[in-house]
């Protein structure tokens, strides 16, 4: 089978309809909702500094924002990404549904859309068909600047939709997951209103509800969205390469904690089904530690921890740091051509 053309060497490629993208254009209402989901939290983030100067930032706002950031962020990282997209482990039913709900609170779209887009990204990473490659326009500085903007947020406004039937038939077969995906708007509302309710009850004041809505709702959503989108843009452009991949996936250490380990992106693309992304000594991977805790509690099983021999074989040139903990010499299936 002929590989799809490489965007980096074919910046002027003519894009034609693909079988992995539905022919129907998304509706105007859908595009308006996407614009609202992106713009509203971003406006709040821009307004955060003057708002804090005039109103102050209470410690209860910080606690609530951190709590909702951790729950929704781990829902994306350990849930939507490592579990639902790549099947890095198996989870018991209650945890499976809880991870789907937690990821839905991140305001990043319904689970079926998220998984379909990300599986498509791995199949065509940095090639034609990748929904958000920063290399789609070429590799000179002007093309790359345009590509970075597209990979970070522009791709969200594309009219065509990734086929769920092609990329996530396993999730479509699960009635509970389909229901959670349909209820995304409700979970999005909860993600904004629950902090306001908690802040109001905590302070027993309207002022506390408003500040919690702003900081633990809007600002928290904006920060998490842009951290997630940075994996698409920054982590495919800048950073270190310690494992051989077929694309431009890189490690960006300063994003590691905020992204719960997602920015150790180079290893992830070298071994997509691995439950731990930060496999080298000193690489903090909070999601991997959470999965490890779940495994100890008996809530997850068949975890695909890193295989030492396989990782060694994939190491790129240069200085080689030792592998970190939670690495086992277990057989891990080599990903298929789709990369998931």
| 79-120: pLDDT as tens digits | 999 999 999 999 999 999 999 999 999 999 999 999 999 999
Report which of 168, 70, 52, 46 is spatially closest to residue 110, judged by C-alpha positions: 168
Tell me how far apart the alpha carbons of residues 52 and 60 are, in angstroms, rounded to a whole number: 14
**In this structure, is residue 252 part of a structural domain?**
no
Banded pLDDT at 25 (limits 50, 70, 90): low
Give the lowest-confidence range in 8-12, 28-32, 100-104, 254-258.
8-12
**In this structure, is residue 207 part of a structural domain?**
yes
- Comparing 45 with 188, the larger pLDDT belongs to 188
Write the CA distances from 123 to 16, 81, 103, 116, 272, integer angstroms: 17, 15, 22, 11, 11
Mean pLDDT over residues 21-37, rounded?
50
**In this structure, is residue 132 part of a structural domain?**
yes
| The Cα angle at residue 178 between residues 176 and 183, in degrees rounded to 5 | 95
Contact predicate 256/264, CB 8 Å? yes
**Residue 36 above 60 pLDDT?**
no
Query: In percent, how much of the chain has pLDDT > 90?
Result: 59
Give the lowest-confidence range in 108-122, 136-150, 250-264, 274-288.
136-150
**In this structure, is residue 144 part of a structural domain?**
yes
Domain ranges, residue 226: 27-237
Contact predicate 78/290, CB 8 Å? yes
**Residue 3 above 60 pLDDT?**
no
Give the lowest-confidence range in 117-131, 261-275, 302-316, 322-336.
322-336
Mean pLDDT over residues 122-150, rounded?
90
**In this structure, is residue 285 part of a structural domain?**
no
Banded pLDDT at 47 (limits 50, 70, 90): low
Beta pairing class for 21-25 and 160-162 = antiparallel
Contact predicate 306/281, CB 8 Å? no
**In this structure, is residue 209 part of a structural domain?**
yes
Beta pairing class for 90-91 and 21-25 = unpaired
> What is the chain's mean pLDDT, rounded?
83
pLDDT of residue 175: 97
| pLDDT tens-digit series, residues 170-194 | 999 999 999 999 999 999 999 999 9
Tell me how far apart the alpha carbons of residues 339 and 245 are, in angstroms, rounded to a whole number: 11
**Residue 37 above 50 pLDDT?**
no
How many independent structural domains does the chain possess? Answer: 1
**In this structure, is residue 82 part of a structural domain?**
yes
Question: Token digits for 73?
Answer: 């962020």
**In this structure, is residue 243 part of a structural domain?**
no
């Amino acid at each position: 089978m002929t590989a799809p053309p490489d965007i980096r060497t074919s910046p002027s490629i003519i894009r034609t309809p693909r079988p992995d993208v539905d022919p129907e254009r998304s509706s105007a209402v859908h595009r308006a909702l996407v614009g609202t989901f992106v713009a509203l939290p971003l406006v709040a983030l821009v307004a955060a500094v003057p708002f804090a100067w005039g109103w102050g930032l209470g410690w209860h706002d910080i606690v609530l924002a951190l709590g909702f950031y951790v729950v929704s962020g781990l829902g994306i990282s350990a849930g939507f990404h490592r579990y639902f997209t790549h099947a890095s482990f198996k989870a018991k039913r209650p945890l499976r549904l809880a991870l789907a709900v937690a990821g839905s609170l991140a305001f990043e779209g319904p689970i079926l859309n998220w998984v379909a887009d990300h599986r498509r990204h791995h199949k065509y990473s940095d090639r034609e068909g990748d929904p958000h490659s920063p290399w789609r326009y070429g590799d000179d500085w002007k093309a790359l600047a345009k590509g970075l903007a597209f990979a970070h947020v522009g791709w969200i406004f594309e009219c065509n939709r990734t086929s769920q039937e092609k990329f996530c038939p396993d999730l479509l077969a699960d009635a509970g997951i389909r229901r959670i995906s349909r209820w995304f708007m409700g979970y999005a509302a909860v993600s904004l209103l629950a902090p306001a309710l908690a802040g109001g009850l905590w302070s027993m004041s309207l002022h506390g509800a408003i500040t919690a809505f702003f900081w633990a709702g809007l600002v928290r959503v904006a920060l998490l969205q842009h951290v997630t989108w940075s994996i698409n843009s920054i982590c495919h452009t800048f950073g270190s390469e310690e494992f051989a991949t077929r694309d431009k996936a890189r490690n960006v250490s300063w994003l590691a904690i905020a992204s719960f380990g997602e920015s150790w992106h180079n290893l992830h693309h070298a071994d997509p089904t691995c439950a731990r992304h930060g496999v080298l000594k000193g690489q903090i991977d909070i999601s991997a530690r959470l999965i490890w805790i779940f495994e100890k509690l008996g809530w997850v099983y068949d975890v695909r921890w890193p295989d030492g021999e396989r990782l060694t074989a994939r190491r790129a040139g240069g200085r080689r740091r030792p592998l970190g903990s939670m690495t086992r010499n277990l057989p891990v299936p080599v990903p298929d051509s789709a990369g998931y």
